[in-house]
Chain A
């Protein structure tokens, strides 16, 4: 046996790949092909469907009719990706560099939500953020918020839901890339006069803070000017205190592979997500996933549902291909990008 394998060792990689390829062929390529065929159907459930290439018009029609939901998916997914990054990076940094003996416990806590069903976690938000729930109830009672204020059934609830549900997908890759970093590089940078980053840190912090606060202000229907001013001030302080030159020149570049991998892991499922919009949104926050679900199950409009799914899939594949081309595949797998 050993001799046999030795003689045919060239085929070993193929043997190792075989289970994965077979799996992909059966559960990805075949259904995708089936979906593509379905998108060229026309007809109804009662009369039956028939295939014709002339039904390609389903694609432009679907794109046109649901461009709003496509755009919204892109916007919400991008917003959620940026938010997860802003939350996950400091978190991963703290665990990797300041975790000490609690590091494993903290990592466990990051993934702990996965022990509960995705659905239940999202539904629990409805209870926590209820209009008179444990968060908003007291704030309204103390007149901090107006009575008609609500978070549920708003875009902010949908984006927050996505952010919450996908946060571990961003945290873990960033943690991995930070954790394996050689700490001596930072020390070397500091020895070489990498001190506080000024005025870069102040400016970067102020910029990010102002933009973020303006977006939040817009979402919560507050005055954007004052909100942006508060964000600008807070960001400037945080940037001045926390952003050192060694971070910008050493730590951040070395952690970029994790950031890239994390953004893909969050952005891609977020684009197709429909649970958050369905449970936390309102009629004007539906994403493309909600449309596909409704076309498929409620309206029995299989061709449009398939066409929309196919557009989404091809769009994501193309974006990933461009991303990989620009940044190199090693970045996607959180390998050493330098």
Chain B
């Protein structure tokens, strides 16, 4: 029972096939349960913070509860009790706020659908913090459906946000979103089969025909292909996009591509079915424990960087407490506590030093704390406007056979 890697794996983190197609399936429902960390606590209401560690609260006081919607397996979780999350308990201990934590997000679009009606009508969505991927973040900020964070309430966040995440095009002042976790998309391979690979051309190599998988997340698959073709995903044009689709279509038509997958490519790599894959960094860290020859590299042509953000939906009942929480998880010790469990990239300065105290090996892992050289090779995908979004998704769907 010591190896809980299967559970630790960020399996359901991203839009992945089973997640989006089988939300009704038992296995998935089990992973989507709502858990309030304070269920067995007396539920103290309005207990004022007692130590000086809290940020200047001004006149405001923390609320009794905070409603936090997140993806499954995306926060530190007790090995013996999946409803217990130490980070959330620590927050309750400090501020007296009971965090009602719900793993209800399986797909950006799907969750957006549930937020849309109340936000349009100017009503409270019931959530104080939601976690959405950067492109969806851009969309909701553009729609004006996000509360502006009072930067005076979040000094730790302002100080500790890694520079790479500052001032994205959709929020140049960082007043509407706070990165939660990040990851890289690159080349995954089984070195026992392929030897060492450094180029994403391997994803088109007929030598491993039928043992190559692409990602079903449009931005990841297209991003890698664009870079293989020498284009920059952060400034992609429609012509370049079409070229990337044609490049992938060639591999699909020739039977080189086995499937378009979500996280399930990782299981296939462990089983030996897949030799080369478009891969997410966090997955390979976990799966290499089961099959030691699995490797992840940012290909020479470049990879992509994606990240998920905490947002406060417009009209949230507990905006101030949500800000306290955002500030709280930007404390290096708390960030390290989460990172040690979820294994994605931590966007918090100082977290590495804290993680050394928990798990030295993880702190040395370049997939959790990428080197500057790696970061120069990973690009973000451009924020798409609505027409581009529709066109890109449509073309990509057709490519994947649906």
The 3 nearest A-B residue pairs measured at CB: A283-B401, A294-B402, A286-B401
Residues of chain B contacted by A48 (CB below 8 angstroms): 120
Write the nearest CB–CB distance from A114 to chain B, whole angstroms. Answer: 12
Residues of chain A contacted by B260 (CB below 8 angstroms): 283
Given A132-B272, A291-B402, A298-B393; A118-B113 close (CB under 8 Å)? no
Residues of chain B contacted by A294 (CB below 8 angstroms): 397, 400, 402
Residues of chain A contacted by B268 (CB below 8 angstroms): 126
Complex: A275 Cα to B27 Cα, angstroms? 14
A272-304 vs B, CB cutoff 8 Å, 1 = contact: the mask equals 001100110111111000110111011110000
Given A46-B386, A126-B268, A133-B271; A275-B109 close (CB under 8 Å)? no
Q: Cβ of A293 and Cβ of B393 under 8 Å apart?
A: no
Write the nearest CB–CB distance from B170 to chain A, whole angstroms. Answer: 14
Write the nearest CB–CB distance from A252 to chain B, whole angstroms. Answer: 38
Q: Cβ of A45 and Cβ of B259 under 8 Å apart?
A: no
Q: Among the listed stretches B12-20, B56-64, B297-305, B328-336, which one makes contact with chain A, having 4 or more residues with CB under 8 Å of it?
A: B12-20
- The verdict on B41 contacting chain A, using a C-beta distance below 8 Å, is no
- The verdict on B165 contacting chain A, using a C-beta distance below 8 Å, is no
Given A46-B143, A282-B258, A283-B257; A130-B273 close (CB under 8 Å)? yes
Q: Cβ of A299 and Cβ of B397 under 8 Å apart?
A: yes
Write the nearest CB–CB distance from A231 to chain B, whole angstroms. Answer: 27
- The verdict on B21 contacting chain A, using a C-beta distance below 8 Å, is yes
Write the nearest CB–CB distance from B169 to chain A, whole angstroms. Answer: 18
Q: Cβ of A284 and Cβ of B401 under 8 Å apart?
A: yes
- The verdict on A35 contacting chain B, using a C-beta distance below 8 Å, is no
Within 8 A of A (CB), among B23-38: 25-28
Given A119-B26, A298-B15; A153-B402 close (CB under 8 Å)? no
- The verdict on B139 contacting chain A, using a C-beta distance below 8 Å, is yes
Q: Cβ of B394 and Cβ of A299 under 8 Å apart?
A: yes
Which residues of B approach A to under 8 Å, CB–CB? 15, 17-18, 20-22, 25-28, 107, 109-110, 112-113, 116, 120, 139, 143, 209-211, 252, 257-260, 264, 267-268, 271-273, 386, 390, 393-394, 397, 399-402
Q: Cβ of A300 and Cβ of B109 under 8 Å apart?
A: yes
Given A119-B25, A300-B109; A286-B386 close (CB under 8 Å)? no
Complex: A192 Cα to B267 Cα, angstroms? 61
How many A-B residue pairs have C-beta atoms within 8 angstroms? Tell me.
107
Write the nearest CB–CB distance from A218 to chain B, whole angstroms. Answer: 16
Cβ-neighbour of A282 out of B15, B18, B259, B267 (below 8 A) = B259
Residues of chain A contacted by B267 (CB below 8 angstroms): 126
Write the nearest CB–CB distance from A55 to chain B, whole angstroms. Answer: 16
Complex: A142 Cα to B196 Cα, angstroms? 29
Q: Output the nearest chain A residue to B143 by Cβ-Cβ distance.
A: A46
Residues of chain A contacted by B400 (CB below 8 angstroms): 283, 286, 294
Complex: A130 Cα to B273 Cα, angstroms? 6
Write the nearest CB–CB distance from A140 to chain B, whole angstroms. Answer: 11
Residues of chain A contacted by B209 (CB below 8 angstroms): 148
Which residues of A approach B to under 8 Å, CB–CB? 44-48, 69, 117-120, 126-127, 130-133, 148, 150, 152-153, 274-275, 278-279, 281-286, 290-291, 293-295, 297-300
Given A148-B209, A150-B210, A290-B402; A299-B393 close (CB under 8 Å)? yes
Residues of chain A contacted by B210 (CB below 8 angstroms): 148, 150, 153
Write the nearest CB–CB distance from B218 to chain A, whole angstroms. Answer: 8
Write the nearest CB–CB distance from B221 to chain A, whole angstroms. Answer: 12
Complex: A299 Cα to B113 Cα, angstroms? 11
Complex: A117 Cα to B27 Cα, angstroms? 8
Cβ-neighbour of B20 out of A131, A133, A297 (below 8 A) = A297
Q: Cβ of A131 and Cβ of B402 under 8 Å apart?
A: no
Q: Cβ of A300 and Cβ of B21 under 8 Å apart?
A: no
Q: Cβ of B386 and Cβ of A120 under 8 Å apart?
A: no
Write the nearest CB–CB distance from B74 to chain A, whole angstroms. Answer: 19
Residues of chain A contacted by B272 (CB below 8 angstroms): 130-132
**Known interface pairs A45-B112, A295-B397, A299-B390; 17 further A-B residue pairs with C-beta atoms within 8 A, sorted by A's residue number:** A45-B113, A48-B120, A118-B25, A119-B18, A126-B268, A130-B272, A130-B273, A131-B271, A132-B273, A152-B258, A283-B399, A291-B402, A294-B402, A297-B20, A298-B109, A298-B393, A299-B397
Residues of chain A contacted by B402 (CB below 8 angstroms): 69, 286, 290-291, 293-295
In the complex, which of the residues A282, A295, A298 has the most CB atoms of chain B within 10 Å of its own CB atom?
A298
Residues of chain A contacted by B397 (CB below 8 angstroms): 294-295, 298-299
Residues of chain B contacted by A46 (CB below 8 angstroms): 139, 143, 386
Complex: A291 Cα to B209 Cα, angstroms? 25
Residues of chain B contacted by A300 (CB below 8 angstroms): 109, 112-113
Residues of chain A contacted by B401 (CB below 8 angstroms): 69, 282-286, 290
Write the nearest CB–CB distance from B275 to chain A, whole angstroms. Answer: 10
Write the nearest CB–CB distance from B225 to chain A, whole angstroms. Answer: 15
Complex: A165 Cα to B392 Cα, angstroms? 35
Would you give 26 A-B contacts (Cβ < 8 Å), ordered by A? A44-B390, A45-B109, A46-B386, A48-B120, A69-B401, A117-B25, A119-B22, A119-B27, A119-B28, A130-B272, A130-B273, A132-B271, A282-B257, A282-B258, A282-B259, A283-B399, A283-B400, A284-B252, A290-B21, A293-B20, A295-B402, A297-B21, A297-B109, A299-B394, A299-B397, A300-B113
